Amino acid sequence: GARCFLARLCRMDERGEWQLAKDFRTGARKYARTIFRCRGSVLPYGALFALPGTIATAILHLTWNPELKGSENLEVSRFGDVWTAYTFSLGFLVVFRNNQAYNRFWEGASKVHEIRGELYSCASTLMAFCTSEEEKQGEVEDFQHLLIRLISLLFATCMSEISLDEDDEAPDDMMQVIDLTGIDRQSLDHLECAPSRCEVIVQWITRLMIQALRAGVLDVPPPILNRSTMDLAMAIVDIYRVRKIKEVPFPFPYSQMVLLMLSVYTLVTPVIASQLIDSSIMATLATFCVTTAFWSLYQIADEIDQPFGTDPNDLPMQRIQTDFNDSLLFLMRPETQCVPPFVRPSTAMRLTKVTKKDHMGSGRKVSAASMEHLIVASPVPAPAPAPTQPEVLPLPQPLRKKPGVKKKRRTRTPEAEASVVVIPFEVQIEEGRDEQAAEQ
């Protein structure tokens, strides 16, 4: 550990700046933004609840027994020993409440992403199972267009049911769905009055798969098609698990007991602090800090207990839905459904680097160009001509080290370091490493 610290301390970047000082400034700015950030913070609520007790502490310290403080006040001193056990019980309940709230938050976030992955897996496998016969391409296009619309509608319905309340259906809070134009209006009216819309949409998708299999649109044996039905079944099960978090609140007895004990603590702490602490400033500061900490911890649990909604600390449901629609629209492109042609190179394999990309960082929306492509694009392209296989040269055999001969270490030249070929989708391939790959 000390060696790594010294190595980092002595390292400098390209501009000659010490790396440790640079990291310290970056971390200090990051921590400062986190501490003083107001959006999503619970500290103002905790301070608001602690403010009356703080004022009461200052008043009691100046007016009640001003000459009898600390250990000299035997009555309050003995009561302070009992109050310590009460504070320990309250802290235990608050920590238990926070643990349960965090578990619910993490389970909700995990299940939402699992539902997204299962629905996308279902759509992707059904796209791959479509037949390539020319006479059925029209039916294949109709099947794929209806499929992604129903998948998008299912995910949006699930997200809206768990994130929106009855009095919160504002236009800005509604989920985005791929264009439903073309779906029978009577079916949409039936979906509107259904007690559980997700169940109806799952039934539609299941019937769509069975009809496509009988019509020959899906060119796959029924046992293989069971993979898609299993993904759909797992998605509906996870939807019910997410509903459990939304519909089943934290047990009322625990909430009532914690709130009651917090209220008693807020009322009694000013009395104890004003008599046991000699300094009025220290008594006031201690009351404010301790009471703010307890109320802030409880507010954290109350904030993350329901992770679905529009609050600053809730999950970004609209961004998740928008990203899912983008993935479905990109799945409809011919280049996505067509296997890329490949010609095995005659040289040794090279190492590849893929740069990082945040698929939800920009918060993008479905563009009009994507919707236009969805309408006019042909989902199943014509099969590409088979590429001719070039003559494959044998790979060089690795050299064996002779006994008694020290092998020289090979170094990369500046030309090899600079030869980086950039190809689409943010993939970088480094050239000049054929010799090292051949040796390996």
Q: How far apart are CA 310 and CA 163, in angstroms?
A: 8
For residue range 28-67, list pLDDT tens digits in order.
788 888 888 888 889 999 999 999 999 999 998 888 877 7
3-class secondary-structure state, position 1: coil
| pLDDT in the model for residue 155 | 93
Specify whether the CB–CB gap between 280 and 61 falls below 8 A: yes
Q: How far apart are CA 216 and CA 207, in angstroms?
A: 14
Chain position carrying tokens 């997410």: 242
- 10-residue stretch averages of pLDDT, the chain, 440 residues long: 56 54 72 84 91 91 77 71 87 93 93 94 94 91 94 92 63 77 90 91 94 92 91 93 90 92 93 86 92 93 87 88 93 90 80 70 47 43 45 41 44 43 40 47
Chain position carrying tokens 């625990």: 254
Report the alpha-carbon angle 211-384-144, nearest 5. Answer: 25
| pLDDT in the model for residue 352 | 74
Sign of CA dihedral 39, 40, 41, 45: positive
- Long-range contacts formed by 315-318: CB under 8 A, 24+ apart: 315/108, 315/109, 315/112, 316/360, 317/112, 317/159, 317/163, 317/175, 318/173, 318/175, 318/176
| pLDDT in the model for residue 437 | 45
| pLDDT in the model for residue 228 | 92
- Report which residue type is found at 361: G
For residue range 298-350, list pLDDT tens digits in order.
999 999 998 887 888 888 888 999 999 999 999 999 899 888 888 888 777 77
pTM of the entire predicted model: 0.72
